[in-house]
Amino acid sequence: MEAVLQNVANAAELLAVAAHSDAVKRWDASRLSRAFHWARYCQQLHSKVHNHATMRRDLEEQLLHTNGRLQTVFPGYEGVSLSDLSRCQHLLLVGLMNNPELPIDLLKLLFDPKSPALFPHNELAGLCSGIIQCKSACTVLGVFPDSLPCGADAEVLGLVLMQRLDALLTQDSDVQPAEHFLDSVLQGCEGAAGRFCLAVAAALLTSPKSQMQTASQDFLLDWLQKPHRELQHMCSTLPTSLLRDLAKAHQKFRDSYYAVLKCWASGMEYSVDEGEWVHTSQTVTFPRLVEHFLTLLELHPGLGDNVEQELNALKCSDGDFDVRGLSVWGDLLSALRRGTVG
Amino acid sequence: MFPLQQQPHMEDSADPLVTVQEMQFWLDKAVAWGQAQTVETQRDTCQHLSRLRDFTQQLLKHINSMASTTETMKRLPLIGQFLGRLCWIPSVTADASSRSLLLQCLWGLFSEHPGSAVERKANQWIRTVLCQLVTEEDAKVEPLIRQMGVAPKDYHLGVLRKRLALLQQTFEKNCNCLADKNQRCPHDDSLAVSESCIPLVTCQEAAPLINTLLQRPASCISAALSEDFLDALNSAHSRQSLLLEEQGIISLWYHNLPSLEEAVLRLLESVLANNESSPQKLEQLLEQALLPKACAQHCSMFLVVNDIFRSFLKQAERAESVHCLIHTFTRCFLRELALVPHQNSVPLKALFPQSPQSLLMPLLTLPSEMHQEAWRHHLKWLSDSLKRLTEEEEEDDRDGSRSSCLKSHHRVFEAWFLLVQCVHWVQLTAQLLVTSETQDCGPLLWLFTFYYHPTNRGHHRASQLGHAKEALDHLRALFSPLNPPLPVGSLQSVMTLLSPAQQQQQQSLSTLLIINLLVNFAVFSRQSLIGSAEVLQMVVDQSGLLNEAARVLVSLELSLNRGRHLSSDANRVQLRVQKLQHTLTHMNVPEQHC
């Protein structure tokens, strides 16, 4: 364990030096290769240890300590977290690319697949050129409409999400690490929340190939119910066609979706000025709410009777008036009976 | 078209590699391409990619010819802006060659020892651009992949593979276009997608999609491919940087005539450039080549290949290496054709539309497919039929109109072309000339002479036939088992026929004809092996035609190995061939040491 802690500290030092130190100007191709090898080793290390709660804690402590020490040497250094080690090679590359002291020969090596005779058989030759090619090719093909319900990028992230959950849930009977993972992704992805919803949807729409994957999807569905309102966010941002697919694939999602819709309806007030039901805090509109209900009913015709009964009961509790604007349940029922939006 | 004239103030410049106007034209293009990432702008970029590469190449030369970055910037002030914009046009940076040129241009502008503020600023700018190109991510995705611990490289590769796989699935779908023209066809986008794939032709990940695009169903009327895309594939293929599977290459040839023509010309050039290469090597080359297989799948391709062979043959009717290529190719083609499922097969008549139909089956039949007893009769029939064609040609030459003359010339040429393709019958003729009685040799000798002298130029056919008879008689005497000691007169006569002085005469007999007969006598005659080897060695030594004799012997061995020679004395013949080869090789050794 002592050795592992030391290695992680060394990794943080390597990243700090690569990004901030002028010592990089004395690097040569073999030093560069060694740095990338070390970064790869740290990635493997991370994949082995990050699921162990005790080890995580120790490693995080070690990193905290090392980060603090390095920040005094390199004021611009922001520190690395344990999860950063999973993409250590990327961070090393970013650090080096931003370091103006990186020798031009090494920069050329990273960009030229047919690296000069100076660096024969260096596996880093053209590394950056390959990244540019891949990114550019993605954009080039991105102009064509995606036939996937969530989009190719969300499918890729959905798959990663499932893999991470599978690994975390297999490791331990305790679901806390998996919850922690999802919580931290949700908190950290500000500005990318819409993509996260799509990635979650893609993960839930993956055909489970094992019992483990079914368990991971089940866990994800439970997590969505937590009070952070991610489910509500999904229901309000995802297209209804995708919500229908999810409700079709998971009974649990269907029930939660229905609950969210009822919750939205109960939060609506009739605005005399606008002549329409409006939600007090959510952005959902009445016609959109009807559309959601119709999507759900269309998916499961048997559900219609139950929903009607429940809405009727709610309407009765509001006084059972057939006048528009008095009970959201009554107006919802009429709209659903007409089968039209608005 | 972009303006090619120079601006007045550039006229004095000693360096006309890149003009300001050209730079402005391409800068305007780069600005337009950078404004929006749509199918239309992408199409325009992809269509200009090849010309843009040429321009960037010129630009690179220009940069390298300047003494410093300061000087380059002074001459072409827009260069930085132009290169900077190109860096952010995905169709440009996705293309391996364009990307490499672009990076080289940037390196060219980098000053190892910056001597001015401009150069220091340029260096800094180049580092920034390169860093952004590699590390900049979409703000809507970056936080998510960071939180999930995914390296951007892996994320982009995953998305790219997914997008490619989805497009591939779309184009693999069957459609019902012909039956229902109003129905949306899954291949509707093939033109646009193929255009977008122009920068991806050498991208390993895109190879399966490109293969699928090329193999679009023939029944689909919507599935058009961009010509620029096919040209880009062809150009990558000739640079040997294409990563397509066999069927993809065949489809490329099928859809793009220039690429097929180039492939055939490359094959011909490699054979002609390496005139000394042995028939075995040629055979190996064609066994591995895709062309015979491709031709067996697509009749139209075989017709094109044959047209190219035809025109080569017209220019060089005596080039033995071209003959060898054509007949080996035809043999490989027929073998591949036999593997094509029956329901897809095309009648032979359609594959050889210009050949005299009466000769088609008799010539395409292999000797091994026939009883040995029938060979002689078969060859006589072939000889008579061909002779009739030449007689008609001669009659038309004398009395016919210009058009009938042309027609009969064409008929004779086509018959001869088919004979070149089916040279196994000529090889058998040589063998039978050795083993037949003198009185039976007339038709065989005529056929053999016709192969080497197809045109009756200068009306020398009769005298050439006379010389051939003379050569045959002298060789028969030289290889007679009853005739030791060696008939010096016959040897002298053969040497005279092979002599350079004789060869300069118009009616001279082809040396190859004589050497072919000589080798066949050495192998098949009843003369002892020692005696045969001695005669062969003497003639070859005195005439200096060692290589020619060695090639004939190798060809003979190859056809024997293929099972043509079914006679009872196969072992004896085999042994003689090996010993004679040893004799010829042995002759070669001292020469090499001289």
| Per-position DSSP letters for B259-325, written without gaps between them | HHHHHHHHHHHHHHHTTT--HHHHHHHHHH-SHHHHHHH-HHHHHHHHHHHHHHHHH-TT-HHHHHH
Q: What is the mean pLDDT of residues A93-100?
A: 96
A40, A7 contact by CB (below 8 A) = no
Interface test with B, best of A78, A99, A108, A135 (most B CBs within 10 A): A135
Which of the four pLDDT bands, split at 50, 70 and 90, describes residue B6?
A: very low
| CA-CA-CA-CA dihedral for B241, B243, B245, B247, to nearest 10 | -60
State yes or no: pLDDT of A290 exceeds 50: yes
**pLDDT tier at B419 (50, 70, 90 boundaries)?**
very high
What is the radius of gyration, based on Cα positions, of chain B?
33
More confident residue, B561 or A160: A160
DSSP letter (8 states) at residue B179? T
Residue B221 is assigned to a structural domain of this protein: no
Distance from C-alpha of B323 to C-alpha of B419, rounded to nearest angstrom = 10
Question: Hey, of A108, A156, A180, A187, which one would you mutate to test binding to chain B, going by the most B CBs within 10 A of its CB?
Answer: A156
Q: Give the angle A246-A250-A255 at the CA atoms, nearest 5°.
A: 95
With CA atoms as reference, the chain B residue closest to A114 would be B100
At residue B566 the predicted structure's pLDDT band, cuts being 50, 70 and 90, is low
Please calculate the CA angle B186-B191-B192 and round it to the nearest 5 degrees: 95
pLDDT greater than 90 at residue A110: yes
**pTM here?**
0.82
pLDDT of residue B145: 92
Q: Give domain status of residue B397, yes or no.
A: no
| The pLDDT value given to residue B508 | 72
Q: Which residue of B has its CA nearest to A162?
A: B148
Cα separation, B8 vs B27, whole angstroms: 20
Inform me whether the pLDDT recorded for A75 exceeds 60. Answer: yes
Asked if residues B576 and B529 have their Cβ atoms less than 8 Å apart, the reply is yes
**Residue A7: enclosing H or E segment and its boundaries?**
helix A2-20
Identify the closest residue of chain B to A91 by CA–CA distance.
Answer: B151
Chain A residues lying within 8 Å of B135, measured CB to CB = 93-94, 97-98
pLDDT band, residue B594 (cuts 50/70/90): very low
pLDDT greater at residue A317 or residue A166: A166
Omega of the bond leading into B590 within 30 degrees of 0 (cis):
no
Which of A237-246, A251-260, B153-162, B336-345 has the lowest average pLDDT?
B336-345
| pLDDT at residue number B357 | 92
Half-sphere exposure of A84 (CA within 13 A, CB side): 19
Which residue segment(s) compose the domain that B336 sits in? 258-353
Which of A134, A157, A200 is the best substitution to test chain B (most B C-beta atoms within 10 A)? A134
Mean pLDDT of B55-80: 93
> Which residues in chain A are closer than 8 Å to B103, comparing Cβ atoms?
111-112, 129
In the numeric block, which tokens belong to residue B49?
A: 């990619």
Of A140, A148, A152, the CB nearest to B196: A140
The residue among A176 and A141 whose pLDDT is bigger is A141
Kindly state the average pLDDT of the residues B520-549.
88
Burial of A155 (0-12, 13-18, 19+ CB in 10 A): buried
Residue A256, min C-alpha distance to chain B (Å): 25
Chain A partners of B145 at a C-beta cutoff of 8 Å?
A: 157
CA A314/CA A329 separation, integer angstroms:
6
Percent of chain B with pLDDT over 90: 48
Give contacts of B37 with chain A, Cβ < 8 Å: 139, 142-143
- Residue B10 has a pLDDT of 41
Is residue B591 scored above 80 in pLDDT?
Answer: no
Tell me the shortest Cα–Cα distance from B169 to chain A, in angstroms: 10
**CA of B259 to nearest chain A CA: how many angstroms apart?**
25
Q: How close does chain A come to B264, measured CA to CA in Å? A: 30
- Distance, in angstroms, between A41 CA and closest chain B CA? 15
Domain ends where: B118, B135, B152? B135
Chain A residue with minimal CA distance to B101? A112
A236-244 contacts, C-beta under 8 A, 24 or more apart = A236/A282, A236/A283, A236/A284, A237/A193, A237/A194, A237/A197, A238/A197, A238/A198, A238/A201, A240/A291, A240/A292, A240/A295, A241/A149, A242/A149, A242/A150, A242/A201, A243/A292, A243/A295, A244/A295, A244/A296, A244/A298, A244/A299
- Say yes or no to pLDDT of B384 above 80: yes
Tell me what the mean pLDDT of segment A291-313 comes to: 81
d(CA B464, CA A91): 83
Average pLDDT for chain B: 86
Q: Would you state the pLDDT for residue B132? A: 96
Whether residue A133 and residue B196 make contact (CB cut-off 8 A), yes or no, is: no
Tell me the angle at which helices B320-339 and B299-315 cross, rounded to the nearest 10 degrees. Answer: 170
Nearest partner of A163 among A214, A216, A223, judged by Cα: A216
| Per-residue model confidence (pLDDT) at position A117 | 61
Min Cα separation B160/chain A (Å)? 5
Chain A residues within an 8 Å CB radius of B157: 134
Top residue of A98, A105, A138, A157 to mutate, by most chain B CBs within 10 Å, is: A138
Q: Identify the three-state secondary structure at position A281.
A: coil
Q: What is the total residue count of chain A?
A: 342
Mean pLDDT of A119-140: 89
Q: What is the CA radius of gyration of chain A?
A: 27
Q: What value of ipTM does the predicted structure carry?
A: 0.91
A·B CB contacts under 8 A: 169
Helix, strand, coil % in chain A, rounded to nearest 5: 70, 5, 25
pLDDT band at B128 (very low <50, low <70, confident <90, very high): very high
Please return the burial class of B454, using the count of CB atoms within 10 Å of its CB with bins 0-12, 13-18 and 19+.
buried
The residue of chain A nearest to residue B140, with distances taken between CA atoms, is A192
Give the distance, in angstroms, between the CA of residue A191 and the centroid of all CA atoms in the same chain: 11
Chain B residues touching residue A87 (CB < 8 angstroms): 149-151
Maximum Cα–Cα distance across chain B:
99
**The pLDDT value given to residue B345:** 78
Q: What is the DSSP letter of A147?
A: -
Report the range out of A125-129, B235-239, B480-484 with the highest average pLDDT.
A125-129
pLDDT of residue B179: 65
Question: Which of A180-194, A320-334, B6-20, B127-141: highest mean pLDDT?
Answer: B127-141
Asked whether residue B12 carries a pLDDT value surpassing 50, the answer given is no
Q: Which amino acid is at A252?
A: K
* pLDDT at residue number B437: 82
Mutate to test the interface with B, among A86, A110, A139 (most CBs of B within 10 A): A139
Grade residue B322 by pLDDT with cuts at 50, 70 and 90: confident
Q: How far apart are CA B324 and CA B283, in angstroms?
A: 9
Q: Where are the alpha helices (DSSP H) in B316-371?
A: 320-339, 348-351, 357-364
Is the backbone of residue A195 left (phi > 0), alpha (psi -120 to 50) or beta? Answer: alpha
Q: Distance between CA B413 and CA B393 in Å, rounded? A: 10
pLDDT band at B177 (very low <50, low <70, confident <90, very high): low
What pLDDT does residue A38 have?
94
Question: Do the Cβ atoms of A97 and B134 come within 8 Å?
Answer: yes
Domain presence at residue B28: yes
Please state, in angstroms and rounded to a whole number, the distance separating the CA atoms of residues A238 and A150: 9
pLDDT band at B593 (very low <50, low <70, confident <90, very high): very low
For testing the chain A interface, which of B44, B136, B163, B202 should be mutated: the one with the most A CBs within 10 Å?
B163
Sign of the CA dihedral running B78, B84, B90, B93: positive
Are B134 and A132 in contact (CB < 8 Å)? yes
Assess if residue B41 is contained within a domain.
yes
Which residue type, as a one-letter code, is found at position B142?
Answer: E
Give A195's contacts in chain B (Cβ within 8 Å): 140-141, 144
Given this model, what pLDDT does residue A156 score? 95
B460 contacts B452 by C-beta, under 8 angstroms = no
Instruction: Kindly report the nearest CA distance between residue A268 and chain B, in angstroms.
Output: 31
Query: How far apart (Å, rounded) are the C-alpha atoms in residues B467 and B453?
Result: 12
Cβ-nearest to A83 among B139, B149, B170: B149
Over 90: is that where the pLDDT of B293 sits? yes
Record: contact B148-A137, CB cut-off 8 A: no
HSE, side-chain direction, 13 A CA sphere, residue A203: 27
Paired with A270 in beta bridges are A277
pLDDT at B563 over 80: no
Token duo for residue A170 = 């297999």
Contacts of A192 in chain B (CB under 8 A): 139-144
* Burial (CB count <10 Å: 0-12, 13-18, 19+), residue B50: middle
Vertex B239 angle, CA B236 and B243, to 5°:
55
A161–B145 CB contact, under 8 Å: no
Q: Is residue B543 part of a domain?
A: yes
Q: Which of B135, B167, B202 is the last residue of a domain?
A: B135
Determine the average pLDDT of the residues in A77-84: 90
Residue of A nearest to B199 (CA): A137
Domains and CATH numbers, chain A: 1-127 (no CATH), 150-238 (no CATH), 256-341 (1.25.40.490)
b/e burial code for range B299-320 (CB count within 10 A of at least 16 → b): eebbebbbebbeebbeeebebb
**Which residue in chain B has the smallest CA separation from A97?**
B131
B-chain residue closest to A200, CA distance = B144
A213-217, B220-224, B441-445: which has the minimum mean pLDDT?
A: B220-224
Q: What is the pLDDT of residue B564?
A: 52
Q: Are strands A276-279 and A268-271 parallel, antiparallel or unpaired?
A: antiparallel
Instruction: Nearest by CB to A140, from B91, B144, B158: name it.
Output: B91
Q: Which stretches of B129-247 are assigned E, i.e. beta strand?
A: none
CB contact under 8 A, A111 and B130: yes
Does any domain span residue B294? Answer: yes
Report, as an integer, the average pLDDT of A65-73. 94
Dist CA A316 CA A310 (whole Å): 10
Higher pLDDT among residues A265 and B498, named by residue:
A265
Alpha-helical regions (H) of A99-206: 104-111, 127-142, 152-171, 176-188, 193-205
Nearest to A203 by CA among A233, A168, A161, A146: A161
Distances in whole angstroms, Cα of residue A168 to Cα of each of A80, A231, B146, B579: 21, 22, 18, 76
| Overall residue count recorded for chain B in this entry | 594
Most A-contacting residue of B111, B137, B145 (CB-CB within 10 A), to test interface: B145
Pull the structure tokens for residue B22: 């050209």
Asked if A107 and B127 come within 8 Å (Cβ–Cβ), the reply is: yes
Token digits for B498? 């092979």
Nearest-by-Cβ selection for A141 from B149, B153, B164: B164
- Per-residue confidence (pLDDT) for residue B220, from 0 to 100: 67
Q: How large is the average pLDDT for residues B241-253?
A: 88
Examine the pLDDT at B4 and tell me if it is beyond 70. Answer: no
Mean pLDDT, rounded, for A21-31? 94
Nearest chain B residue (CA) to A93: B135
CB contact under 8 A, B160 and A137: yes
Alpha helices (H) in B36-95, listed in sequence order: 39-65, 69-75, 79-86, 90-94
Q: Examine the pLDDT at A221 and tell me if it is beyond 70.
A: yes
Contact across the interface for A141 and B107, Cβ inside 8 Å = no
pLDDT in tens, B422-434: 999 999 999 999 9
The runs of H, that is alpha helices, within B340-441 are 348-351, 357-364, 372-399, 402-421, 424-435
B66 assigned to some structural domain: yes
B200/A137 Cβ within 8 A: yes
Task: Compute the mean pLDDT over every residue in chain A, rounded to the nearest whole number.
Answer: 88
Range scoring the smallest mean pLDDT among A228-242, B167-181, B299-313, B458-472: B167-181
Given B307, B325, B353, the domain boundary residue is B353
* Residue A92 pLDDT exceeds 70: yes
Number of domains in chain B: 3
**Per-residue burial over A107-142, b = 16 or more CB atoms within 10 Å of its CB, e = otherwise:** bbbbbbeebeeebeebebbbbbbbbbbbbbbbbbbb
Is there a contact between A86 and B149 if contact means CB atoms under 8 Å apart? yes
User: What is the rounded average pLDDT of the residues B29-37?
Assistant: 92
Residues of B in contact with A196 (CB under 8 A): 144
pLDDT at B238: 84
pLDDT single digits (tens) B352-375? 999 999 999 999 998 888 888 899
Angle of the B529-543 helix axis to the B546-561 helix axis, nearest 10: 140
